[in-house]
Structure 1
Amino acid sequence: MTTELPHSDADATEVGYGGHVSQTLARVSRLHRLAGGRLLRPTGLCSGQEFLMMTLWDAGSVRQSELARALDLDPSTVTLMLRRLEQGGHVTRARDPRDRRVMLVRASERSYALRPQVAAAWARLEEHILDGLDDGEREAFARILMKVEKNLAAEEAQEAEEAGEAGEGGGDPEDSGRS
């Protein structure tokens, strides 16, 4: 017995499943990530790795734990990303000579050649997603999107604060045992 699935187009979105804005935003986010990944393909970076590399290009040598916090990613996710980037020759990791428990990460010299390619890919993506919008619409869209981001970030901060008050926080999760 086969079950026929409904089509998933924007007009068929059910308000009972959370509203059309949230569902559209989820679809747009997915499509944005896919388009970004396609544009990054010639660099050899996977979608998401460019954020890590941009952070390192701007910051220089940083603690692995600080990198995870800056990217708002789980430390184990950053460890995996760094392992892959290190294998590709894009980053180097070394123990901090002042504190051997700390792992320092930096962009390799070779990786700096990718910086203009990543910037160009993001510029092309920006133009693609804003195609057909006039300057006023672009400004309004950016302003609204920043408000949405602020709302979501405030909710995340509140959740983190409540989790910390409940005793789930504690200690600085440094890199020991994860490299």
Structure 2
Amino acid sequence: MTQSTPEAGQSPVEKGQDATVPLPAAAGGGPVSHAIFRLARLHRMFAGQLLRRIGLHPGQELVMMHLWELGPQRQTDLVRLMDSDAATMTRTVRRLEQAGFVRRRPSPTDRRASLIEPTTASHALRREVEQVWTHLEDLSAAGLSPDERTAALHTLERLEQNLVRAAAEAAEGAGVDGEG
């Protein structure tokens, strides 16, 4: 198997690689983490380019996907669902509202809360978002066989589970000794 990341201190060109950012010597102990960083950066860049064409920014389409699927949601539920923070979600919802893709309405069960719901205009956007995600998937997984796609997805899910577990353990530790 060939190495997917150049040796620390060498450029990708020297090793015959296509990596966009060479592995710095200081990151030599974390080549998988460095590869995740590079992949996430490129994925977000391409997503941004594709989404800009339909009037969205990265992350906004995920909020819309959840609203289309689940229907109206309280903003606090969107924060939890998206594993976001309140300030980020407030900005996202405000921008989606200004673009005409969501509206707020009072919650029938909680006078302190409002529900965020997709507008009719956003439903027309749904097909375009689906096409963007299909195109992004095609770009990301180009040249992979169905078995390789399945293996890549399994590996990514495992990496995510590892980090979720580590975050939970860190939160438990912070709660026990009072430090963060």
Bin for the TM-score computed over the shorter chain: 0.7 to 0.9
Aligned to 1:23: 34
Aligned to 2:107: 96
Tell me if 1:150 matches 2:161: yes
RMSD: 2.2
**Ranges in structure 1 where 5+ consecutive residues have no aligned partner:** 1-5, 169-179
Query: Within 5 A, what are the aligned runs for 1:19-168?
Result: 19-165=30-176
Moved more, 98-107 or 71-80: 98-107
CA–CA distance in structure 1, aligned partners of residues 119 and 10 of structure 2: 47
Aligned length: 163
Fraction of identical pairs, as percent: 43
Moved more, 8-17 or 103-112: 8-17
The structure, 1 or 2, with the larger RCO (C-alpha pairs under 8 Å, 6+ apart) is 1
- Aligned 8 A contact 2:10 2:23 in 1: no
After superposition, the Cα gap between the structure-2 partners of 1:134 and 1:27, relative to the gap in structure 1 and judged at 3 Å, is: same
**Ranges in structure 2 where 5+ consecutive residues have no aligned partner:** 1-8, 13-18
TM-score by length of 2: 0.82
Q: Which amino acid aligns with 2:31?
A: H
After superposition, the Cα gap between the structure-2 partners of 1:14 and 1:164, relative to the gap in structure 1 and judged at 3 Å, is: same
